[in-house]
Amino acid sequence: CNNNQVIQAKAIQDVLRPRFLIPLKITDEQAHARVREWLGTSWMTPSSLQKLASVTEYTPIYLPYWTFDARNIATWKAQVGHTKTETYWVNGQRRTRTKTVWRWENGRVNHFYDDALVSGTQQISSVLVHNAQNFDTEALVPYDPAFLAGISAQAYEVDLQKAYDTGRERMRAQTKQFCMDQASTSNIRNFSMTLDFSEESWRYVLLPFYIATYNFQNQAFQLVVNGQTGQVAGQRPVDWTKVWLAMIAMVTPGILLGIIALITLAFGIGIPIGFLAMFALSIGGSYALKTYRTADAMDDV
């Protein structure tokens, strides 16, 4: 596909100023209320966070974004594994075993991406703006300087070519996942995909946000508020004492059952309890790991 060349040719005259924007809809008071509510939505944060967090002044700003449209048509093939249980006999005793049977499967995906967003700023955390960019792009209107009255607007720092490459790579990854979702199981190997891009277009737009910092126990935390929908994204301190106690509680049943299994093993009843302990420990450990990862990501920027 040679649309890359076409896009670069367009960029010379069109990229210098935005063509569309989404008007700021959320008021300063509404942004404060959304943040106050957001601060109290997780049990992993300190209990006093919502009450004691001191939020500094909110700064409304229009951030630069590129939007991309494209149709992806992909064909794929892969070996898909199916688990099969077999019964066999050994010395007159019936036993079972499982094996994976691999079968070739193929399919086709036809998906149109409408206004796929790529941030054009490098000054604000890409994690934060990504987590708050649930915009309704149907609300885009032609650019008018009047919308910027009293509100700053940032020029793009990520140029069109880099944004275009990023957008294409994201579409490719998403289309690959669509293809893999068509397989009859998630056990896949030797996957291959042929992908064509068509109907490509782009726009340079401005999207509204509030940028703020709040202080808690002498630490500063960043956050952003979507200026259209009120979606909040930001850093939050973690009460690791609560998190570790919760994780211990998740694995404790499995550990206790394991101890009981060891004690009762001498009486010949420990084996089934042992299997139950392994199952409980596996489930508890899985939830504990998920809890840790969630807590660890709460201050990512």
pTM: 0.76
Determine the 3-state secondary structure of 157 from DSSP. Answer: coil
What single-letter amino acid sits at 180? Answer: M
> What is d(CA 122, CA 70) in angstroms, rounded to the nearest whole number?
25
Local confidence band at 301 (pLDDT 50, 70, 90 cut-offs): low
Q: pLDDT at position 90, please?
A: 83
The two tokens of residue 20 are 């569309």
Q: Is the pLDDT of residue 210 over 50?
A: yes
- How confident is the model over 120-125, as a mean pLDDT? 90
Count the alpha carbons within 13 Å of 21 in the hemisphere toward its beta carbon: 23
pLDDT digits (tens, 9 = 90+) for 144-174: 999 999 999 999 999 999 999 999 999 999 9
The two tokens of residue 244 are 């570790």
The two tokens of residue 152 are 């700053």
pLDDT digits (tens, 9 = 90+) for 8-18: 444 444 546 89
Specify which residues 226 forms β-bridges with.
209
- Considering the chain, what is the average pLDDT of its residues? 87
Residue partners of 36: CB distance under 8 A and separation at least 6: 50
Per the model's pLDDT, the better-predicted residue between 2 and 186 turns out to be 186
What does 201-249 look like in DSSP terms, one character per residue? EEEEEEEEEEEEEEEETTEEEEEEEETTT--EEE-----HHHHHHHHHH
> What is d(CA 50, CA 41) in angstroms, rounded to the nearest whole number?
9
pLDDT digits (tens, 9 = 90+) for 241-285: 888 999 999 999 889 988 888 888 767 676 788 888 888 889 989
Pick from 162, 161, 191, 158: which is nearest to 175 by CA?
191
Pick from 201, 166, 203: which is nearest to 22 by CA?
203
φ/ψ (deg, to 5) at 289: -65, -40
> What is d(CA 173, CA 287) in angstroms, rounded to the nearest whole number?
28
Cα separation values, 144 from 22, 118, 149, Å: 11, 22, 10
Determine the 3-state secondary structure of 139 from DSSP. Answer: helix
> What is d(CA 3, CA 21) in angstroms, rounded to the nearest whole number?
24
Residue partners of 277: CB distance under 8 A and separation at least 6: 254, 255, 257, 258, 260, 261
- How confident is the model over 40-65, as a mean pLDDT? 81
Q: Is the pLDDT of residue 3 over 50?
A: no
> What is d(CA 174, CA 172) in angstroms, rounded to the nearest whole number?
6
